[in-house]
Each structure stands twice: as C-alpha cells, then as structure tokens.
Amino acid sequence: MTGELIYVIGPSGSGKDSVMADARDRLAGSGALFAHRYITRPASAGGENHVHLSEAEFQARLDNGLFALHWDSHGWRYGIGSEIGLWLSRGLPVVVNGSRAYLGEAVGRYPKLLPVLVEVDPDILRQRLLARGRETPVEIERRLARGERYPVSHPRLERVDNSGDLADAGERLAAIVSRNLHSMKKAV
C-alpha cells in the first residue's frame, strides 16, 4: 500500500503557502503529512516555512541522492527530501509544494501523483505580488508573463480558487487531502 503524493502548484503569489498552512492546521492528527521544502533562499526572505540550505549544502544533498524531487526557479534551488518515500510507503498521503514547470518530471517519478492547482484572479495576483514587496513592478510583470507559459494539464487535476477567503481555499485543499486519506484507510 502506498500513499498518494499530492503536488500543490500555482503561480507565485497565489497563496499556496497560506492555503497549505490552513489545510495542515485543519488536518492535524489525521495522518496526512506536509513536507517542507529545502530551498537556497534565506528563511528571512519570508514566505513558506522552509529549510534553508546554502548552495554547497544543497549540492551535497543532491549529490548524495537525498532529494526525491528538485528543481531550479527564480534563481533559487528547491528540493523535496527523500523522506517522502518512507512516508508514502507507509500508506500516508503526502502534500508537497511543487512547481508547475517541474510537473512532468514529478509525474514521471510518481505516476499516481495528484496535482492540485491553486488559482487566483490575475488582478488579485498582481496586487499580492506588489504587496509582498520582494520584486520590482517590472519583475512582477515578467513573473506574471512567465506564469502564462505554464498551463497545467493532467487528467486528475484538482483546482483550488484562492481569489477570496483563505479559509475557503484551505477547506477545499483539506477536503482533497482528506478524501485521499479516507480512500487509503478503506483500501487497508
């Protein structure tokens, strides 16, 4: 019995981290696991609660096969630890914060992966990116244009709209994860 990898994706600023945090709180004690990402971006940069690694630390882990998934984006390196393999082998659903550009590679490694796309109205997305202050307006426009180059298509794709109340989006993601958690328990 293997658990399901739930691969959450969406454009930067869509609120993936907030939606995942809300869903994690709702599912505390359920058996669903939310993996932290290993990122070369400093923890002080804001955003998700991730494990900061220097370039050298990241490369050492990569060289030693300690990432189940890894990619580069926006000048940073991202990794999902190989510990998810143990969690999945125990039949637990595992939620990860993924990358739209890396989805094909992730599906190749985890064919039963369930992609979940966090979407947001484009005007709201632009406002969120401006409000967080990490990038200049020109960089934001480039990021928005880049986002349009990654349409997501997958036969099992689930969608979560985060244009409105965060609690609604978190509840939707929690319901998706919970549905998979319950189907795992029934199969056992």
CATH 3.20.20.70 for the 5-182 domain, yes or no = no
The pLDDT, as a whole number, for residue 151 is: 79
Q: Is the pLDDT of residue 185 over 70?
A: no
Question: Where are the extended beta strands (E) located within 5-143?
Answer: 5-9, 33-34, 37-39, 51-52, 67-73, 76-81, 94-97, 114-119
Confidence of residue 44 (pLDDT cuts 50, 70, 90): low
This prediction's pTM: 0.88
The pLDDT, as a whole number, for residue 187 is: 53
Q: Is the pLDDT of residue 188 over 60?
A: no
Q: What pLDDT digit, counting tens, does each position of 55-103 carry?
A: 999 999 999 999 999 999 878 999 999 999 999 999 999 999 999 999 9
Using an 8 Å Cβ cutoff, are 23 and 174 in contact?
A: yes
The pLDDT, as a whole number, for residue 183 is: 61
Q: What pLDDT digit, counting tens, does each position of 125-181 carry?
A: 889 888 888 788 998 888 888 777 777 889 999 999 999 999 999 999 999 999 877
Find residue 52's DSSP bridge partners: 39
CA atoms within 13 A of residue 115's CA, in its CB half-sphere: 23
Task: Give dist(CA 82, CA 108) in Å, integer.
Answer: 16
What are the binding residues? Answer: 10-17
Confidence of residue 108 (pLDDT cuts 50, 70, 90): very high
**Once rounded to an integer, what is the mean pLDDT over residues 13-34?**
94
The pLDDT, as a whole number, for residue 87 is: 95
Task: Give dist(CA 16, CA 118) in Å, integer.
Answer: 6
Strands 33-34 and 67-73: unpaired
What are the binding residues for ATP? Answer: 10-17
